[in-house]
């Protein structure tokens, strides 16, 4: 049970951008260097976060990336729900032939929702609020 | 976010054995055939379930495998807790340098516990209880 590195990197990008001053721009190269994540991965992550309306990309010489919404509007549970493949087991009938009658699927869906409901209590702001220690590390 | 196939197969073996009559024995070849899971995988799964005290292996010509405890004593959440690697993100400081100050780790641990607490409401008995449809599929 592990979140994908795509989700991991996405949250880290959002944390990074949330630590910047309002309207300050960053770029993929800088974020890549800070986290030691390959630029290729981050291009895909930033593209997806743009599609989902979390990140604005400003084109041009003085362009860059920044959050499109305030960190208080970025809900951690909702972000994970949007980014992460959440099928806990491969329960398709062609894969497991007790699937049509198995009750485990329903219980796993309830458990997944309990997991996401817990994370929906928090925003990206909660991850960085008042966190001078985090600022020093960035 | 996916459970490992090892956990998946383990639960399916326990479901299978729980459907048998009391003291009826099965064996790896039969379970393998029913679920179309390779014997090699099941040997490891059955060995682990034996180590954890869930399965008894009876040696000899008329030997086989059976549950060591009643299905009502086999808690789904506890089984997953024992079998599944539950580190949701690779948060080691060598991997992510904001790790020492990141609050996400704590929130993920809470969310993971919410997930497991939900599954701890159920036993293997709850997965098979009164489930004639499941019996027909096995």
ipTM attached to this prediction:
0.84
Three-class HEC string of chain A: CCCCHHHHHHHHHHHHHHCCCCCCCECHHHHHHHHCCCHHHHHHHHHHHHHCCCEEEECCCCCEEEECCCHHHCEHHHHHHHHCCCCCCCCCCCCCCCHHHCCHHHHHHHHHHHHHHHHCCCEHHHHHCCCHHHHHHC
Higher pLDDT: B34 or A118? It is A118
Report residue B116 CA to chain centroid gap: 13
pLDDT at B6 exceeding the cut of 80: yes
pLDDT of A136 reads 67
Task: For residues B105 and B17, give the distance between their C-alpha atoms in angstroms, rounded to a whole number.
Answer: 37
Comparing A16-25, A118-127, B97-106, the range with the smallest average pLDDT is B97-106
Residues of A with CB below 8 A from B2's CB?
1-2, 85, 87-89
Task: For residues A103 and A90, give the distance between their C-alpha atoms in angstroms, rounded to a whole number.
Answer: 14
Higher pLDDT: A106 or A130? It is A106
Cβ–Cβ gap B1/A119 under 8 Å: no
Candidate from B90, B98, B122 with C-beta closest to A138: B98
pLDDT of A2 reads 81
Highest mean pLDDT among A45-49, A109-113, A122-126, B103-107 belongs to A45-49
Comparing A40-44, A81-85, B62-66, B125-129, the range with the smallest average pLDDT is B125-129
Candidate from B88, B119, B138 with C-beta closest to A98: B138
pLDDT of A137 reads 64
pLDDT at A51 exceeding the cut of 90: yes
What is the reported pTM?
Answer: 0.85
Candidate from B87, B121, B137 with C-beta closest to A2: B87
pLDDT at A48 exceeding the cut of 80: yes
Cβ–Cβ gap A89/B122 under 8 Å: no
């Amino acid at each position: 049970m592990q979140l994908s590195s795509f989700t991991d990197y996405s949250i880290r990008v959002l944390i990074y951008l949330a630590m910047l001053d309002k309207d300050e721009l960053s770029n993929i190269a800088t974020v890549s260097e800070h986290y030691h994540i390959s630029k290729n991965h981050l291009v895909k992550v930033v593209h997806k976060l743009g599609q989902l309306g979390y990140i604005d990309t400003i084109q041009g010489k003085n362009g860059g990336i920044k959050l499109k919404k305030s960190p208080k509007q970025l809900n951690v549970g909702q972000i994970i729900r949007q980014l992460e493949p959440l099928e806990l087991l491969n329960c398709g009938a062609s894969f497991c032939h007790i699937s049509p009658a198995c009750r485990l699927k329903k219980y796993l869906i309830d458990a997944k929702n309990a997991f996401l409901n817990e994370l929906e209590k928090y925003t990206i702001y909660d991850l960085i609020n008042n966190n001078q220690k985090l600022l020093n590390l960035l």
